[in-house]
Amino acid sequence: METVTKNNLVKKVVDLGVNGNVAKVAVQSFIDCIVDSLKSGEKVQISGFGTFIIRQRKERVCRNPKTGEKVVVPARSSPAFKPSEILKKRIENGK
């Protein structure tokens, strides 16, 4: 199984007939748009694909596995992806 990288995505856009530099800028712009929207607290919804959101994780107490000492993990924001039903069905039918 192969990992899809940003370079793989650029190559797929180039295969569609787009200039290499333009394809690279387009893929990076797409990623930047998602990141910037999430940073500003917006959700990014791509129809037929899914939704990128920011989840707020609460502060919690965990244990250091080496020492057994209790450690407080601070609250933080975490990006998350929720796939659409269409994407789920397409993956399910592909198997």
Number of domains, the chain:
2
Q: Does residue 51 share a domain with residue 80? A: yes
What percent of the chain shows pLDDT beyond 90?
95
| Residue-level pLDDT at 66 | 93
Q: Does residue 69 share a domain with residue 26? A: no
Q: Does residue 8 share a domain with residue 20? A: yes
- Domain CATH number, residue 92: 4.10.520.10
Q: Which domain holds residue 21?
A: 1-41
| Residue-level pLDDT at 95 | 60
Q: Does residue 62 share a domain with residue 36? A: no
H or E, element range at 89: helix 85-94
Q: Does residue 92 share a domain with residue 60? A: yes
Retrieve residue 56's tokens. 């707020």
This prediction's pTM: 0.78
Whose structure tokens read 């992806």?
Answer: 81
Give per-residue pLDDT as tens, 63-86. Answer: 999 999 999 999 999 999 999 999
| Residue-level pLDDT at 2 | 83
Give per-residue pLDDT as tens, 46-56. Answer: 999 999 999 99
Q: Does residue 33 share a domain with residue 10? A: yes
